[in-house]
């Protein structure tokens, strides 16, 4: 497998983990809101409140794990992006870029003249 393909796959993994993290954070917020509502109802039993808070804590732990995993994955992906950027910056010759831009501008101008 080419390194670029590996980096793309890692980006997809990071994107999937980010989506999963967003879903867990949304669920966490809803669970907190639900626990808050339960707390405001006078008829709520302490055991129900405890269970609600345990669910919040479990989702919070999942969020912590996901953040840790993302932190590890992100580091190597960002390192790949930086190395690629550095290489492109060093290997790119300004004259070639200017020639390419000039050619593109000349091509666009010639198309306008034909219309």
Please give the Cα distance from 19 to 25 (Å, whole number). 10
Please give the Cα distance from 16 to 27 (Å, whole number). 17
Question: How is residue 1 written in tokens?
Answer: 């497998």
pLDDT score for 73? 82
Please give the Cα distance from 50 to 114 (Å, whole number). 76
Domain total of the chain: 1
Please report which confidence band the pLDDT of residue 23 belongs to, taking 50, 70 and 90 as the band edges: very high
Residue 76 sits in which domain range?
3-114
Give yes or no for residue 114 having a pLDDT over 70.
no
For 46-103, what is each residue's pLDDT tens digit? 888 889 899 999 999 999 999 998 888 888 888 888 888 888 777 777 777 788 888 8
pLDDT score for 6? 78
């Amino acid at each position: 497998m080419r390194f670029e393909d590996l980096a793309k796959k890692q980006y997809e993994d990071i994107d999937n983990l980010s989506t999963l993290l967003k879903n867990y954070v949304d669920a966490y917020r809803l669970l907190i809101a639900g626990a808050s509502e339960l707390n405001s109802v006078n008829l709520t039993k302490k055991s129900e409140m405890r269970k609600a808070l345990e669910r919040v804590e479990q989702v919070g732990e999942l969020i912590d794990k996901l953040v840790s995993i993302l932190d590890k994955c992100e580091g190597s992906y960002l390192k790949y992006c930086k190395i690629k950027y550095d290489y492109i910056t060093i290997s790119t010759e300004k004259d070639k870029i200017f020639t390419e831009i000039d050619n593109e501008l000349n091509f666009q101008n010639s198309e306008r003249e034909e219309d």
